[in-house]
Amino acid sequence: MSTDLTPSEIEIGLGIHNESGYSRLSPIPKLAELVPRLLDLLTSTTDPDRSFVPFKGKDNIVLLVNNLGGISELEMCGIVAEVRRQLDARGFTTSRILSGTFMGSPSLSPSSTDLSFWNV
């Protein structure tokens, strides 16, 4: 994939150094539709290339939402709230939420974020 996105596209799984991602979506879905897709990718235990943690669905987790530099604090709060809501609906217990700019990247789109979580 090239690194040029149209204004109506997003790329899932884009690397921190602008490496090509896992897939592109167009048109850009609403946050409530995007988050389940991301959570499915992060929690699936059926993909041997991406399944590193054996999530069981009732896991106690730490959620990290990293703003790579171009999203406002207000938008980050909305993203975190939606991810938390959908994690709760899936039966996960969120022990801690870390949200902010922990690592930025000047080579990425100004609206890039990173969503990660760990089993604790």
> Does residue 8 belong to any structural domain of this protein?
no
Is 11 an annotated catalytic residue? no
User: Which among 17, 47, 54, 57 is annotated as catalytic?
Assistant: 17
* Tokens at 119, concatenated: 């089993």
> Does residue 5 belong to any structural domain of this protein?
no
The CATH number that applies at residue 103 is 3.30.1180.20
Torsions phi, psi of 44, nearest 5?
-60, 135
> Does residue 3 belong to any structural domain of this protein?
no
> Does residue 55 belong to any structural domain of this protein?
yes
> Does residue 22 belong to any structural domain of this protein?
no
Which pLDDT belongs to residue 113? 66
Domain count, the chain: 1
63 has which bridge partners? Answer: 97, 117
Is residue 1 pLDDT above 50, yes or no? Answer: no
- Measured between its terminal Cα atoms, the distance across the chain in Å is 35
Q: What is the pLDDT of residues 6-64, one digit of tens each?
A: 889 988 887 766 677 888 999 999 999 999 999 998 888 888 877 778 888 788 999 99
> Does residue 73 belong to any structural domain of this protein?
yes
Distance CA(93)–CA(30), nearest Å, equals 24
Nearest-5° Cα angle at 118, 41 to 13: 35
> Does residue 13 belong to any structural domain of this protein?
no
Which pLDDT belongs to residue 47? 82
Q: What is the pLDDT of residues 61-112, one digit of tens each?
A: 999 998 877 788 999 999 999 999 999 999 999 999 999 888 766 655 555 6
> Does residue 9 belong to any structural domain of this protein?
no
* Mean pLDDT across the chain: 83
Range of the domain at 100: 30-119
